[in-house]
């Protein structure tokens, strides 16, 4: 990834003969994946470099600086997902006051033609640019002959009656509807973070947990989820608790705890970065009468999670 500090750095890149796509790509969901696939296909046909131009921070953060619990993927994960799809030249430019107020024609010249000289631009139908979001995919297509590039606009992609979009996926995740979210994402939602020391209560009841200092901006709704992750490259079924742990210590603080099934209790993950894929919410978080009742419920949760992953592998 090339992270640009200002427009002068961007102008100095001078890429030649590219196939370019532009957007926020939050979530790198199945709609984005179709755009990226089309970029790679065209770049191969035209013998060009596939390039993706994106922005940081997300424009909504620029306009609403107190926004939280919003982004589907942080910058690091977004980059990894895009590279896995086959685009390795990712240019990130700062979204600032200059970019927010730029005239659409100036954007085309300074952010597209001068640095990238694209043969083709491939964008989603809802792409907007320039002051007041006056620049549209249609306007960009009208400029084809002025600048010598062609524009391909990817139509809206739907799943059932719903449009595949970051906002719809975000809503599903916030409601704990992970199956619907994952279908739109085109992969299983990822929670990641460093394992930090907790209060150690999980170990005392024979259910040790990895307490995550998550890097995610967006968290699923509170509750217990089935998922999976890897320990020492071995795939493990996981129970994921997102909530305030009311039976143990009822607070307003939301924590993310991972219990990896069939893992020796002495396994230490402190200081390691762990990723877990979240598959399905299996129950609400609740306050039990005592720890013994909680342990009985965890046993049931384990069986539910095992069956779920077994069925998914069939």
- Asked whether residue 204 falls in the same domain as residue 68, the answer is no
Cβ atoms 137, 124 nearer than 8 A: yes
174 burial via Cβ count (<10 Å: 0-12, 13-18, 19+): middle
- Asked whether residue 141 falls in the same domain as residue 214, the answer is no
pTM of the model: 0.92
Domain total for the chain?
Answer: 2
Q: Per the domain annotation, does 290 fall within a domain? A: yes
pLDDT tens per residue across all 314 residues of the chain = 677 776 677 777 778 889 999 999 999 999 999 999 999 999 999 999 999 999 998 888 888 766 777 899 999 999 999 999 999 999 999 999 999 999 999 999 999 999 999 999 999 999 999 998 899 999 999 999 999 999 999 999 999 999 999 999 999 999 999 999 999 999 999 999 999 887 666 666 677 788 999 999 999 999 999 999 988 888 899 999 999 877 777 677 889 999 999 877 667 788 889 999 999 999 998 888 888 888 889 999 999 999 888 877 54
Q: Per the domain annotation, does 135 fall within a domain? A: yes
- Asked whether residue 144 falls in the same domain as residue 247, the answer is no
CATH number for the domain spanning 195: value is 2.40.30.30
**Domain encompassing residue 105:** 2-163
- Residue 193 pLDDT: 93
- Asked whether residue 200 falls in the same domain as residue 106, the answer is no
Distances (CA, A) of 189 to 33, 58, 59, 146: 15, 19, 23, 42
Q: Per the domain annotation, does 178 fall within a domain? A: no
- Asked whether residue 8 falls in the same domain as residue 116, the answer is yes
- Residue 226 pLDDT: 96
- Asked whether residue 251 falls in the same domain as residue 217, the answer is yes
Q: Per the domain annotation, does 100 fall within a domain? A: yes
CATH number for the domain spanning 83: value is 3.40.50.620
- Residue 250 pLDDT: 64
Q: Per the domain annotation, does 182 fall within a domain? A: no
Strands 89-94 and 128-129: unpaired
* Terminal-residue alpha carbon distance, the chain: 37
Q: What's the rounded Cα separation, in Å, for the pair 311 and 281? A: 15
43 burial via Cβ count (<10 Å: 0-12, 13-18, 19+): buried
Closest CA relative to residue 112, chosen from 18, 37, 46, 24: 18
- Asked whether residue 8 falls in the same domain as residue 155, the answer is yes
- Asked whether residue 156 falls in the same domain as residue 202, the answer is no
Phi, psi of 222 (to 5 degrees): -60, 140
- Asked whether residue 11 falls in the same domain as residue 153, the answer is yes
- Residue 269 pLDDT: 85
Q: What's the rounded Cα separation, in Å, for the pair 279 and 287? A: 23
Q: Per the domain annotation, does 99 fall within a domain? A: yes
Closest CA relative to residue 22, chosen from 57, 53, 58, 61: 53
* Cα dihedral sign, 207-211-212-217: positive
- Asked whether residue 107 falls in the same domain as residue 209, the answer is no
- Asked whether residue 20 falls in the same domain as residue 115, the answer is yes
Q: Per the domain annotation, does 129 fall within a domain? A: yes
Write down which residue in 146, 163, 180 finishes a domain.
163
Indicate the Cα dihedral angle 192, 74, 242, 202, nearest 10°: 20
For residue 203, what are its two tokens? 């170990």
Q: Per the domain annotation, does 277 fall within a domain? A: yes
- Asked whether residue 151 falls in the same domain as residue 192, the answer is no
Cis peptide before 116 (omega within 30 of 0): no
């Amino acid at each position: 990834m090339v992270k640009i500090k200002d427009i002068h750095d961007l102008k100095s890149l001078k890429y030649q003969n590219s196939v370019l796509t532009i957007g926020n790509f939050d979530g790198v969901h199945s709609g984005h994946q179709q755009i990226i696939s089309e970029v790679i296909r065209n770049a191969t046909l035209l013998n060009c470099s596939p390039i993706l131009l994106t922005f940081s921070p997300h424009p909504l953060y620029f306009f609403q600086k107190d926004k939280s619990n919003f982004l589907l993927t942080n910058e690091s994960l977004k980059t990894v997902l895009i590279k896995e799809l086959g685009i390795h030249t990712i240019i990130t430019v700062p979204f600032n006051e200059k970019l927010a107020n730029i005239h659409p024609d100036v954007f085309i010249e300074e952010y597209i033609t001068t640095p990238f000289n694209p043969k083709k631009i491939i964008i989603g139908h809802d792409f907007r640019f320039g002051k007041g979001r006056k620049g549209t995919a249609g306007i960009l297509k009208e400029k084809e002959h002025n600048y010598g590039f062609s524009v391909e606009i990817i139509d809206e992609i739907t799943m059932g009656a719903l449009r595949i979009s970051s906002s719809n996926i975000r809503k599903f995740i916030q409601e704990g509807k992970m199956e619907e979210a994952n279908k739109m994402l085109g992969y299983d939602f990822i929670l990641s973070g460093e394992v930090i020391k907790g209060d150690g209560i999980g170990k005392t009841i024979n259910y040790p947990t990895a307490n995550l200092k998550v890097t995610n901006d967006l968290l699923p709704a509170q509750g217990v989820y089935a998922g999976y992750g890897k320990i020492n490259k071995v795939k493990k079924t996981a129970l994921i608790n997102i909530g305030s742990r009311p039976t143990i210590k009822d607070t307003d603080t939301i924590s993310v705890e991972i219990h990896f099934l069939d893992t020796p209790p002495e396994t230490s993950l402190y200081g390691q970065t762990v990723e877990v894929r979240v598959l399905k919410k299996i129950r609400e978080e609740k306050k039990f009468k005592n720890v013994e009742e909680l342990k009985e419920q965890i046993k049931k949760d384990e069986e539910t999670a095992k069956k779920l992953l077994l069925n998914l592998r069939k």
